[in-house]
Structure 1
Amino acid sequence: MTSTLPNPWPAPRTRGPVDLEVSLPGSKSLANRALVLAALADGPSVVRRALRSRDTLLMAAALTALGSEVDTSGDDWTVTPGALTADALIDCGLAGTVMRFVPPAAGLSQGRVAFDGDPHMRSRPIGPVLDALRGLGVEIDDHGTGFLPFTVRGSGSVRGGAVTLDASESSQFISALMLAGARYEQGVDIRHVGPPVPSLPHIEMTVAALRRHGVEVDASEPDRWRVAPGPIVAVDEVIEPDLSNAAPFLALAAVSGGSVLVRDWPQATTQPGDELRRILALMGCAVDLGPAGLRVTGGPSIRGVDLDLHDVGELTPAIAALCALADSPSELSGVAHIRGHETDRLAALARELGALGADVTERPDGLSIRPAPLRGGTFHTYADHRMAHAGVIIGAAVDGVLVEDIATTSKTFPDFADFWAGLWRE
């Protein structure tokens, strides 16, 4: 079902090769991990170049509600841990990281912590995390649903220990338990049993963040992560640019045959968005990572690709949009798990790209996309920022594309619409 909001946004159309340089806001994934660890650390710390978006502000508010002090007034956010003693109400909004990362921390509180969020969040999976927390000694009341709303009743400490769960729906299930695990009496020993865990780079991101904070983590065995009990050392963090948010900007190079430089692209990173370098090269772009950042230059056409995106599912909407503009067929697979993201992204992409003329077949775990002439129309976003990215990419190549609810991009990129439209005015 779709519902068009008033005044859908006219996506700007390129009229020739672009030549752009852009600086992107910080990574939401890195920022929210840094904020949780800072709130559980042994002293105050600073999260520098923090992304100011709905997801990160919801995280800051959640940690403040639990007893920490998070000063978000400047570009660098100061976090002062506090006693987790008060009852609290946590608004998860549409932030999976808040819904999943905060309950394990709330188990350390001495109060009643209630969680809820936007209506769509009540259908996003959280049950395996709640069951795992129960197994580790946390009291949880979810009325037997395994979804929002639910309540965590903290006792001031968590026993911890060994736990087994199926994290095939989201790597965040593993990261959630790891982030607070060092503060548990026995640490945490997590085993995954089930189909492969998606988005493994995000778990590697969590491991790296914990180690920066002095936490001992053993990730040497497949499908097992052990976090030793002990202090979480306060560390000032500098947040990298959000590489997944680079997707629509780099796509402009491919769409227009022009050149886009994303400044400050890290030489080494745990962010899944770094995979854009390989993917865009396969699609016919020239890709160069240098001291200034990542430069992508489009070729004479966009080539179709056959890709397993299991580990980088968040890139699927942008890549699917490029595939719809390619001159040869594409197969995108391995991403059944993105049906449980902000929306069922596979169904939404098939529906919206198809409505604009794309030849798309929805598969159980991906999409088949064949060349076809595209036309203008309204591209619905389903309150999903990545769907909005797909819409603006199509709009850059096709006249008359209207993106419904472009404001949903504020989840990870405040003022995206003005920033994007401003590229055409430079």
Structure 2
Amino acid sequence: MPTIEILRSPLKLHGKVGVPGSKSITNRALLVAALATGKSSLSGVLVSDDTRYMVKALTELGVCIRFSSDTCIDIEGTGTLKQPCDSLYLGNAGTAIRFLTAACALVKGTVVLNGDEHMQKRPIHPLIDALNAAGIHATVPSSGCPPCQVHGQGSILGGTISVSGNLSSQFLSSLMLVAPLAKQSTTIKLAEDTIGALGYIEITRSVMNAFGAHVYQDDEKRFHIANTGYNTCDFKVEPDASAATYFWAAETLTGGMIDLGYSPSDFSQPDVAAHTLMQSFPSLPSCIDGAQLQDAIPTLAVLAAFGYSKVRFTGIANLRVKECDRIAAVHKGLNCIKPGLATIEGDDLIVIGDPELPTQARPCTIDTMSDHRIAMSFALAGLKCRGIKILDPKCVDKTFPNYWSELSKLGVSFSYA
């Protein structure tokens, strides 16, 4: 498998880079625009593996989609979806397969949704259970992971639906996104008292509202969605906050100045909270609750390794069922750089900061486990420590295809092998 090694990095990184559009917002907006009746235009969209899978699947479901430029898409929706000729392949795009599993209830006929070997290890059974309880026949293997089979009736009833959000907030979002097309108003109840990653539920609500849906709550556990359908919309996708965290961390780690073209106040996504935490580096908080900024945890953990003290990351159990077990991947990577740099207690990750790390790190190859966030976060360690190689560097194509070229704009040089 190929590797990339950071050969040289300026002492302080200065320059201007570009971050792509938000994956989370792009895939939500693609589906909602597809379910509206008429033409919608999306601008600033992310073009990456995850969004390409969503576009391809929606096209196979009968939606007319056309790129008017590199980051602008015109979508002609009909308010419904057609049965595809074959199964839908979604790679390892979690948002795509989870959102489309509920949406395929609108198809009249059976739809099979599947992904790669990594996707086939990512649980989706809470969503399948919720769909069956709502009268939508859907199945998964005994593993509780894809492939999924949805036997659509061409419509969904609505009413009251209960779903567990313990493993992922995307199960709730999936049901919310299709609820405006139900035959009656829908109330979605959380099976738990709270849910992690509430910020992503707000992203779902915001996208839905932009296309004319009405979502409201009377308490933290109940989401009421009127059966309004969706209106067409010219919608702008904001830049990806998760992608921005790598450059905020690079700036913090090197004492440089990196211009993203946006300030943190321009982001509504939950990972923007990482920017505030980084301002205390090298004395990061001793305990960081990662429940609401999960995609930023690998970035923060690598940054913490260069800090002055021990940092415990809590509320991150869901990281075990992302593209890989990110708790294990970060732990393994940090200890490859220097043994004893990180430990795990239950589902907590503890990073023992060492400001002398650049002089103590050993040459090593970081196993990314084909996870884009592991690759991009550990590249930060390579800015300070020589001899760090990143395995499978093209895995960043999942959400940030230009990541390595954007780093090179700052004067960072690489060797590919």
Indicate whether the TM-score tops 0.5: yes
Which residue matches 2:345? 363
Amino acid at match of 1:376: P
Which residue matches 1:326? 307
1:54-99 Cα offsets, whole Å, 9 max, x none, are 0011011111111111113622101111452323421111111011
**Bigger shift: residues 27-36 or 270-279:** 270-279
**Which structure carries more relative contact order (alpha carbon 8 Å, separation 6+)?**
2
Which residue matches 1:68? 63
Cα offset, 1:220, TM superposition: 3.7
Spell out the pairing of 1:250-399 with structure 2 (5 A cutoff): 250-265=248-263, 267-283=265-281, 301=282, 303=284, 305-357=286-338, 359-372=341-354, 373=357, 374-399=361-386
Cα offset, 1:425, TM superposition: 6.1
Q: Confirm or deny: 8 A CA contact 2:13 2:410 kept in the other structure.
A: no
Q: Confirm or deny: 8 A CA contact 1:14 1:256 kept in the other structure.
A: no
Runs of 4+ in 1 over 4 A off after TM superposition: 301-305
Amino acid at match of 1:355: C
Give unpaired runs (5+ residues) of structure 1.
284-300
Which residue matches 2:5? 10
Cα offset, 1:13, TM superposition: 4.0
Are 2:75 and 1:79 aligned? yes
Which residue matches 1:58? 53
Which residue matches 2:42? 47
1:47–1:248 Cα change, 3 Å = same
Cα offset, 1:416, TM superposition: 1.8
1:236–1:54 Cα change, 3 Å = same
Tell me the distance in 1 between the aligned counterparts of 2:299 and 2:228.
41
Tell me the distance in 2 between the aligned counterparts of 1:73 and 1:123.
36
Q: Confirm or deny: 8 A CA contact 1:302 1:325 kept in the other structure.
A: no
1:269–1:219 Cα change, 3 Å = farther
Which residue matches 2:402? 415
Which residue matches 2:215? 217
Instruction: Determine helix, strand or coil for the equivalent of 2:96.
Output: helix
1:146-166 Cα offsets, whole Å, 9 max, x none, are 221121121111112111122
Tell me the distance in 2 between the aligned counterparts of 1:342 and 1:375.
27
The total of aligned residue pairs comes to 404
Q: Confirm or deny: 8 A CA contact 1:139 1:154 kept in the other structure.
A: yes
1:197-237 Cα offsets, whole Å, 9 max, x none, are 11110001111111111111112411221111122111111
**Bigger shift: residues 212-221 or 405-414:** 212-221
User: Structure 1 vs Structure 2: percent identity of aligned residues?
Assistant: 30
1:12–1:273 Cα change, 3 Å = farther
Cα offset, 1:144, TM superposition: 4.5
Cα offset, 1:419, TM superposition: 2.4
Which residue matches 1:160? 158
Cα offset, 1:264, TM superposition: 2.6
Amino acid at match of 2:83: A
Tell me the distance in 2 between the aligned counterparts of 1:396 and 1:196.
38
Q: Confirm or deny: 8 A CA contact 2:271 2:292 kept in the other structure.
A: no
1:421–1:269 Cα change, 3 Å = closer
**What is the root-mean-square deviation in Å for CA atoms of aligned residues?**
1.8
Which residue matches 2:194? 196
Instruction: Determine helix, strand or coil for the equivalent of 1:154.
Output: strand
TM-score, length-scaled by structure 2: 0.92
Instruction: Determine helix, strand or coil for the equivalent of 1:397.
Output: coil
Amino acid at match of 2:316: V
Which residue matches 1:292? none
Q: Confirm or deny: 8 A CA contact 1:66 1:84 kept in the other structure.
A: yes
Which residue matches 1:402? 389
Instruction: Determine helix, strand or coil for the equivalent of 2:265.
Output: coil
Instruction: Determine helix, strand or coil for the equivalent of 1:78.
Output: strand
1:129-178 Cα offsets, whole Å, 9 max, x none, are 11111122212132444221121121111112111122111110110100
Tell me the distance in 2 between the aligned counterparts of 1:204 and 1:240.
14
Q: Confirm or deny: 8 A CA contact 2:166 2:195 kept in the other structure.
A: yes
Cα offset, 1:415, TM superposition: 2.7
Q: Confirm or deny: 8 A CA contact 2:310 2:353 kept in the other structure.
A: yes
Q: Confirm or deny: 8 A CA contact 1:115 1:150 kept in the other structure.
A: yes
Cα offset, 1:376, TM superposition: 2.3
Q: Confirm or deny: 8 A CA contact 1:375 1:400 kept in the other structure.
A: yes
Q: Confirm or deny: 8 A CA contact 1:47 1:76 kept in the other structure.
A: yes
Cα offset, 1:413, TM superposition: 0.7
Q: Confirm or deny: 8 A CA contact 1:65 1:89 kept in the other structure.
A: no
**Bigger shift: residues 271-280 or 393-402:** 271-280
Pick aligned residue for 1:112 from 110, 113, 116 = 110
**Bigger shift: residues 388-397 or 79-88:** 79-88
